[in-house]
Structure 1
């Protein structure tokens, strides 16, 4: 297939055009049609095919030698001042790239559809651990960024972020940011987290807690007077708490649960669903750690937390089914999408029909 190569300026212009049309991800591969992700769906771009020379030009602009590298993350600043994150890789020998913008505009916390007052209460605590959880593509990074921007506009703090990769760029306002990226600025989260405790932070954001060492350091940081905000890959509030506890060896389980019960402020679990208008709609469940909940976490009585989430909602607790049913009744998501997303489709059917 003969494809006319682009100049770097033309390639940047095309990327900016796709981003302006709402693309959150751009997929390039030599001699293949360009595809973009819009509202969660991957769709082809009409009349756009990348040549090998186009991909070589992109790799070299990212200061990566296409003759020697197989896969690598890179950050690139375009001529308009915007940044992109490019994962450069080979697919069946062909040069390819997955591109995502590094955003400079951070959505306000109260625009996300989350319990704004509750989150504000959490993030203005001087110490403790806040978890934002969900599966891949559920908007966790945006929630973290919006929460930190809320602090940036209201509190004089030193905020250290440990990210893989950086997805939002913060401008110092009342707070001062030290944004650090895995691989380019540090070897691993645990190393950076240990070092950050010597950098006099007030707030530490960890892109994701993935292992025992990072989990232990996050809890210790929260115990020694720091507010720690992080994500965890999980599908529910209770699963998040249990999964964090399970990162520790069995012989340390009781000690770790005790520390978690003392330091955890709250957990949000969220998901993004295809809306009836073609956009994505956020649904969430959340739990504030207080009162009896602390004892249940300490004792590993997760079934009691599950029961607690099913009780009438009090503004500090909400289960995912309630959120999905509310979003469905507002006409924002279809019955099919709502049922598929419900933890138990049968419970969803009973709720929308008023059967307890």
Structure 2
């Protein structure tokens, strides 16, 4: 019989990033991107349901009727976890992501200096994008920490759930958890601009309403940080525009070109030390890119990034070659993650 607390302790002790609890297989942990068994005994339906009730407590009935629930879970002397509990094939399943108890810094993450420059912006929209599990939340937390240490302002975060806990340093930091501090993203966003924020973090731009309010907030003098599950700056811009009805898209192109400050697109790459390291594409807004957005020529943005190193820009393939040349990542692994294999080969020759 498995104990949830012991499973979580083992996950943290073994350096796991995720714990998966699914009926019919043993508990599985993800280490350096790969799943491994945490025991041999398979989980039964009653086991996973017991774990779900232990995590959800009085919110179990709400989950049981909706079929899924996101929340944060803390275990004393072990850590914090981002939890998704969901129904599958008539039974419960649980995915738990380990959240580092220490707020990350941009230096510790070894992110490019241009991210610090983005943290100095007084207004506009900064996006961190990438697939699930690519470290978006960690990068955003490091950026909020940078602002918190350097600026005397009011930060409001809307998260589902709250992952990293920020203390008040130079800034006041108010963190609102959807489902706990507010009913929904929609309700939180409606009241957001009345709460006198300077910096706004929106955990995820999920839909048209969220994107609209984020753009409006950026237009009205706030610095807005958020995420999207997209890969690459050009695709991110296309995704935002495509959310809107056709008759609104030209206006959104104009608005987005005016407020966008930068896009950080990242993925986690297996490194030679057995861990993972982030590779980042960085796009910084320039008059040329603003024109490309307004005119719907997003296919030209990759070229602008490639030639924009003096502005702090780099393509994903440029980032990957740096990781190889610095001895952090194997060349064959890096090529597997490259956007353009031929371009990657050419960059490796310089």
What displacement does 1:337 show? 1.5
Answer yes or no: is 1:96 the counterpart of 2:93: yes
1:252-276 deviation per Cα after TM superposition (whole angstroms, max 9, x unaligned): 2222111111111111111111112
Match of 1:165 in 2: 161
Separation in structure 1 between the aligned mates of residue 261 and residue 320 of structure 2, nearest angstrom: 24
Matches within 5 A, 1:70-219: 70-80=67-77, 82-116=79-113, 118-219=114-215
Task: Provide the secondary structure at the position in 1 that maps to 2:310.
Answer: coil
Separation in structure 1 between the aligned mates of residue 302 and residue 89 of structure 2, nearest angstrom: 46
Go from structure 1 to structure 2 and tell me whether the alpha carbon gap of 1:211 and 1:89 turns closer, same or farther (over 3 Å shift).
closer
Match of 1:319 in 2: 315
Contact 1:189/1:214 (8 A) holds in 2: yes
What displacement does 1:99 show? 1.7
Go from structure 1 to structure 2 and tell me whether the alpha carbon gap of 1:68 and 1:315 turns closer, same or farther (over 3 Å shift).
closer
Q: How many residue pairs align between the two structures?
A: 346
1:319-346 deviation per Cα after TM superposition (whole angstroms, max 9, x unaligned): 1111111212222222221111111112
Separation in structure 2 between the aligned mates of residue 154 and residue 324 of structure 1, nearest angstrom: 30
What displacement does 1:37 show? 0.9
1:58-105 deviation per Cα after TM superposition (whole angstroms, max 9, x unaligned): 333231548955433343333448433332334444443222234431
Match of 1:352 in 2: 348
Task: Provide the secondary structure at the position in 1 that maps to 2:265.
Answer: strand
What displacement does 1:145 show? 0.4
Go from structure 1 to structure 2 and tell me whether the alpha carbon gap of 1:225 and 1:38 turns closer, same or farther (over 3 Å shift).
same
What displacement does 1:305 show? 2.3
Answer yes or no: is 1:37 the counterpart of 2:34: no
Answer yes or no: is 1:256 the counterpart of 2:252: yes
For 2:337, which of 330, 336, 341 is the aligned residue? 341
Contact 1:197/1:221 (8 A) holds in 2: yes
Matches within 5 A, 1:219-234: 219-234=215-230
Match of 1:272 in 2: 268
In the superposition, the TM-score normalised over structure 1's length comes to: 0.88
Task: Provide the secondary structure at the position in 1 that maps to 2:16.
Answer: coil
Separation in structure 1 between the aligned mates of residue 228 and residue 16 of structure 2, nearest angstrom: 25
Higher helix proportion: 2
1:154-178 deviation per Cα after TM superposition (whole angstroms, max 9, x unaligned): 2222211112222212122222222
Which range is displaced more, 47-56 or 295-304? 47-56
The unaligned stretches of length 5 or more in structure 1 are none
Go from structure 1 to structure 2 and tell me whether the alpha carbon gap of 1:351 and 1:155 turns closer, same or farther (over 3 Å shift).
closer
Contact 1:84/1:102 (8 A) holds in 2: yes
RMSD: 2.4
What displacement does 1:315 show? 4.4
Task: Provide the secondary structure at the position in 1 that maps to 2:126.
Answer: strand
What displacement does 1:310 show? 2.6
In the superposition, the TM-score normalised over structure 2's length comes to: 0.89
What displacement does 1:50 show? 4.7
The unaligned stretches of length 5 or more in structure 2 are none
What displacement does 1:132 show? 1.0
Separation in structure 1 between the aligned mates of residue 297 and residue 86 of structure 2, nearest angstrom: 45
Answer yes or no: is 1:26 the counterpart of 2:23: no
